[in-house]
Amino acid sequence: MRMVDLIQKKRDGKLHTKEEIQFIIEGYTNGDIPDYQMSAWSMAIFFKDMNDDERAWFTEAIVHSGDTIDLSAIEGIKVDKHSTGGVGDTTTLILAPLVSSIGVPVAKMSGRGLGHTGGTIDKLEAMKGFSVDISNDEFIRLVNTNKVAVMGQTDNLTPADKKLYGLRDVTGTVNSIPMIASSIMSKKLAAGADAIVLDVKTGAGAFMKELDESRELAEAMVKIGNNLERNTTAIISDMNQPLGFMIGNALEVKEAIDTLNGRGPADLTELCYTLGSHMAVLAGKANSTEEARELLQEAVKTGKALEQFKLFIRSQGGDDTIVDSPENLPTATKTIAVPSLSSGYISAIMADEIGTSAMLLGAGRATKDSVIDLAVGIELHKKIGDAVEEGEALVTLHVNDADYETVVEKVQAAYSISKEEIPSPQLIYDVIS
Ligand code: URA
């Protein structure tokens, strides 16, 4: 087989065989196929797409380009959850203890944040002592004992995806549905998931800004999952504004505690119950999402979910006193109220700009090597639809030593205020399975 022939084949809109796709991914991973040929092929995919079979084979080939995690020693159906990235998205921190408290095994591999979106590991590390640096054996032991554990991504998971994503980033081929869908699904499959719940974000702060393209991505991922015999459900949820009120690592841990206590923000709580109930159904712990939701709500009401959070923290070396005493979390030295420049109703909040503002305060990484400040971030007081008076605080900045003057202006510019009353945006747009 010659790569040039395969590039021409796709350029002319023809279909690849499974062997051809394996040849491309193996050759690219081991260096036999150079970047310039892979770039040309990626551009051909961008314009000519892949059919459902090609997408499934492509995903499988990426899975087998590196290590895979074998979770078969864990009893039960392991359901993973993936979010396509947002601002203030604390759902993993809440869902891990919440769904495991009703018996769903949660064996999760998570990553660190980059740019305007936060990473689960950074948030977990805001709890003193918490470590995701655990061996595979310890990971499996913890899930079998406690039903929950989170570990950091191993280096050799889906190396073909790492290499290809880097190439797509500089060749204008990131925004291709088959490429994105396979990239995301390959990581979930390599991490050992039996079933997958996807939270596909849509709106200004999301990777996919339009509902139609978010739906197309969700459908593509669900099809790949189901073709590879993993029950997969996708929820399309709003990211036109940050989720919840807190953006920043320790601040989001605090918000997770509030939510597990039944006192969380309405949107974050609702999204967690929605995702959690689909996870419980896929894991076979409930026959319907309604039944699952009741189990989850009961776990919050009785304190079982919060006790499970303590167990999860303790078992991975963390300080579980933060659950009853959140003041033990890292706290910023200053709080700065950012006033509204006019009166009216909040009509839009540019979530990505708020995420970038939190990053500029030190809560996120501008580059992979940036050191983050776990204590700092942004607390929103106003969300879309809320009334506001001129001079009233839109947000509070939690600041240590960053220069916050430009952040104040950036946050003010991220809020749009209208004279007309504005309804709150819909949170859940669709469920696809
Ligand atoms: N996220 C991924 O993991 N892969 C993509 O291709 C795009 C977003």
Residue closest to 45 by CA, chosen among 15, 20, 22: 15
pLDDT recorded at residue 117: 67
Is residue 183 in contact with ligand 1, taking CB distance under 6 Å? yes
- Tens place of pLDDT per residue across the chain (433 aa): 999 999 999 999 999 999 999 999 999 999 999 999 999 999 999 999 999 999 999 999 999 999 999 999 999 999 999 999 778 789 999 999 999 999 999 999 887 776 666 788 999 999 999 999 999 899 999 999 999 999 988 889 999 999 999 999 899 999 899 999 999 999 999 999 999 999 999 998 888 899 999 999 999 999 999 999 999 999 999 999 999 999 999 999 999 999 999 999 999 999 999 999 999 999 999 999 999 999 999 999 999 999 999 999 999 999 999 999 999 999 999 999 999 999 999 999 999 899 999 999 999 888 878 889 999 999 999 999 999 999 999 999 999 988 999 999 999 999 999 999 999 999 999 999 9
* CATH of 79-323 among 3.30.9.10, 3.40.1030.10, 3.40.50.620, 2.60.40.1120: 3.40.1030.10
Is residue 180 in contact with ligand 1, taking CB distance under 6 Å? yes
Backbone angles phi, psi at 51, to 5 degrees: -85, 180
How far is the C-alpha of 328 from the C-alpha of 170, rounded, in Å? 43
pTM for the whole structure: 0.94
Contact 231, 260 (CB under 8 A): no
Name the active-site residue from 168, 254, 278, 365. Answer: 168
Backbone angles phi, psi at 23, to 5 degrees: -60, -45
- Please state the length of the chain: 433
Q: 114 C-alpha to center of ligand 1: Å?
A: 13
Q: 176 C-alpha to center of ligand 1: Å?
A: 10
Q: 136 C-alpha to center of ligand 1: Å?
A: 25
Q: Is 187 a catalytic residue?
A: yes
Give Cα 202 distance to the centre of its chain: 13
Which residue lies with its CA nearest to atom 3 of ligand 1?
184
171-167-173 Cα angle (round to 5):
40
Domain with CATH 3.40.1030.10 in the chain: 79-323
Residue range 330-418, CATH number = 3.90.1170.30
The amino acid at residue 196 is: I
Q: HEC string of the chain?
A: CCHHHHHHHHHCCCCCCHHHHHHHHHHHHHCCCCHHHHHHHHHHHHHHCCCHHHHHHHHHHHHCCCECCCCCCCCCCCEEEEECCCCCCCHHHHHHHHHHCCCCCEEEEECCCECCECCHHHHHHCCCCCCCCCCHHHHHHHHHHHCEEEEECCCCECHHHHHHHHHHHCCCCCCCHHHHHHHHHHHHHHCCCCEEEEEEEECCCCCCCCHHHHHHHHHHHHHHHHHCCCEEEEEEEECCCCCCCEECHHHHHHHHHHHHCCCCCHHHHHHHHHHHHHHHHHCCCCCCHHHHHHHHHHHHHCCHHHHHHHHHHHHCCCCCHHHHCHHHCCCCCEEEEEECCCCEEEEEECHHHHHHHHHHHCCCCCCCCCCCCCCCEEEECCCCCCEECCCCEEEEEEECCCCCHHHHHHHHHHEEEECCCCCCCCCEEEEEC
Q: 161 C-alpha to center of ligand 1: Å?
A: 9
pLDDT recorded at residue 400: 97
- What is the position in ligand 1's atom list of the atom closest to the CA of 174? 6
Domain with CATH 1.20.970.10 in the chain: 3-48
* CATH of 3-48 among 3.40.50.2300, 1.20.970.10, 3.30.1120.130, 1.10.3720.10: 1.20.970.10
How far is the C-alpha of 394 from the C-alpha of 333, rounded, in Å? 20
> Best of 114, 117, 175, 180 to mutate for ligand 1, by most ligand atoms within 8 A of CB?
180
Q: Is 16 a catalytic residue?
A: no
pLDDT recorded at residue 369: 81
pLDDT recorded at residue 379: 98
Residue closest to 190 by CA, chosen among 300, 374, 25, 307: 25
Is residue 117 in contact with ligand 1, taking CB distance under 6 Å? no
How far is the C-alpha of 202 from the C-alpha of 383, rounded, in Å? 17
pLDDT recorded at residue 371: 86
Residue closest to 337 by CA, chosen among 281, 292, 383, 382: 382
Q: Is 183 a catalytic residue?
A: yes
- What is the position in ligand 1's atom list of the atom closest to the CA of 183? 4
Is residue 165 in contact with ligand 1, taking CB distance under 6 Å? yes
The amino acid at residue 353 is: E
Q: 8 C-alpha to center of ligand 1: Å?
A: 26
Q: 358 C-alpha to center of ligand 1: Å?
A: 22
The amino acid at residue 80 is: D
Which residue lies with its CA nearest to atom 2 of ligand 1?
184
pLDDT recorded at residue 386: 98
Residue closest to 181 by CA, chosen among 278, 86, 55: 55
Number of other CB atoms surrounding residue 134 within 10 Å: 18
Task: Calculate the alpha carbon distances from 20 to 6, 16, 27, 38, 58 in Å.
Answer: 8, 6, 10, 13, 10
Spatial neighbors of 87 by CB under 8 A, at least 6 apart, are 116, 117, 118, 205, 239, 242, 243, 247, 351, 352, 354, 355, 358
Task: Calculate the alpha carbon distances from 73 to 152, 204, 229, 251, 354 in Å.
Answer: 19, 41, 19, 35, 42
Q: Is 112 a catalytic residue?
A: no
